[in-house]
Structure 1
């Protein structure tokens, strides 16, 4: 039913459109979920459809993306529901990798680390425009601007 609903292998599918079928894996639902989900099969007009409603903010991990053999327009995307512990671990990993103090300077710091100096410079100038001069963040912003100018070779 899902393949038909997704439009797989339809002869009249426009070339600029593709069909995507999502397969969602949900491990051990006994752990606590901050974003619950529920079957809405009983509310569907088509009883063969097994529909699941996910809460806003539910996060999935993309396991793989596979093109249907013999078709350029039919795709399968396998997703896995991410549990709260995995989200917490991922957030910790991001904080360790990209920022020691996640605050207003964090985005600029990430932009510097990925080498996007122009965006980082614009971002720090926006911070300067929108903060009062007595805030403790100002010296850090100027330090980051110095790092940017040094990396760009702009010593004026």
Structure 2
């Protein structure tokens, strides 16, 4: 995947997105069933982002660079949908090491929770990036080291939008949390 992939843990929710009413003559309804072995410690390119959703989508977001292997493709007469079964590959699986190495050069070793905000920012979607970062701030624990980084990112966005007072406020908050984090590390 070269972009984020939004999925749902609920089959009926996923089928809503393959509604026959929105399918044109040249399109087919397809449901991807994704198998993830959470015991493979090298595979961490997904996150449950249900808490950030305004709807009950039970959303799982697969990160940039996720690679899947197709295990089967079948047509379900009952649901009138093609079912494509995918398996999330590990870094060492199926001689994909070269592909992963290339992706790591492009997107970095680890795509963390702040990455979505950064990508939205780079796409010029400042309002969406700001909304995501504010939602993330609301979910972080008070002592999270990410708080300072969130405020810093919000400062960058505010500056880009021309709101320099708000930007300065966010930068100051960022510095406060970074100083607090340093004092905790020292003790």
TM-score by length of 2: 0.39
Per residue, is there more helix in 1 or in 2? Answer: 2
Q: Tell me which structure has the larger Cα radius of gyration.
A: 1
What TM-score do the two structures reach when normalised by structure 1?
A: 0.45
